[in-house]
Amino acid sequence: MAATHKGAISFGLVHIPVALHTATQDNDIHFNQLHKDDGSRIKYKKVCAHCGTEVSTPDIVKGFEYADGKYVVMADDDFEKAKTDKDKTIYILHFAELSSIRPIYYDKTYHAVPEAGGDKAYELLRRAMLEENKVAIAKTVMGSKEKLLCIIPTQTGVLIETLFFADEVKDIPKDPARPELQEAELSMAKNLINTMVKEFDPAAYHDEYQVRLREIIESKINGKEFTTAPEQKESNVIDLMEALQKSLEQQQPEKPKRGRPRKGA
């Protein structure tokens, strides 16, 4: 698997050459757009707005519109000139507690894999952060964008998360109300939470919608009708305490049915 980005983690005077590999993949079913009348593929062409000529990728350059209809053209070399030596490394700014980073700031996950000559320094950083329960906040330039990073040690390696900058994160559109809660409601809600606690096992979860979608596709390929599953009826429970109580009852394991005693037993 080709690396998405190569650089070196700068840890004080220590430089650790690493390659970043994407840690997740898209398993969604993808569809093509078709013409409704004859089923032909819909294609999109890159066309020059001035002469109407179709343009191939090598003939396309990047331009910044500094005035209406006026552009300054930027070549790949121009983006490289903007980078300093610090930008070309994954420069650790400081260390922090993982719990101090709000989930809303996480963007994309990469595996950081040591390159030739970086194994010992890589292991030193991984183990030191792991034993101190710390993550590293770093910056680098990937492509033509500066990225804020979180370097996270794991039991088997190092993950690097790209983070959004503060000005890229939107405020909540409306603060939720804080209605007064009864102690009994809160206690029962906590009880329900505790009855549903279990260890997180990623392998236990599957994209069930994609499975059903594939079944429909297979049915259509084979010329068969697909029967939609009946909708589950929602209970008409309005009272919050009653809803919590019913939820708790659903979490209770069923008691084994006791058989009738035999005559003469």
**Per-residue model confidence as pLDDT tens digits over 160-193:** 999 999 999 999 999 999 999 899 989 989 988 8
Query: 106, 149 in Cβ contact below 8 A?
Result: no
Single residue among 118, 135, 167 that ends a domain in this structure:
167
Asked if residue 101 is part of any domain, the answer here is: yes
pTM over 0.85: no
Q: Does 18 share its domain with 136?
A: yes
The helix (H) or strand (E) run that includes residue 41 is none
Structure confidence at residue 86 (pLDDT):
61
Q: Does 91 share its domain with 21?
A: yes
CA distance 17 to 92: 14
The whole domain housing 163 covers 5-25+81-167
By the 10 Å C-beta count (0-12 exposed, 13-18 middle, 19+ buried), 22 is classed as: middle
State the DSSP code for 155: S
Provide the sign of the torsion angle of the four alpha carbons 12, 13, 16, 17, taken in this order.
Answer: positive
Structure confidence at residue 83 (pLDDT):
67
Asked if residue 189 is part of any domain, the answer here is: yes
State the DSSP code for 249: H
Q: Does 12 share its domain with 139?
A: yes
Q: How many CB atoms lie within 10 A of CB 163?
A: 22
Structure confidence by residue, pLDDT tens digits, 210-231: 888 888 888 888 887 766 666 6
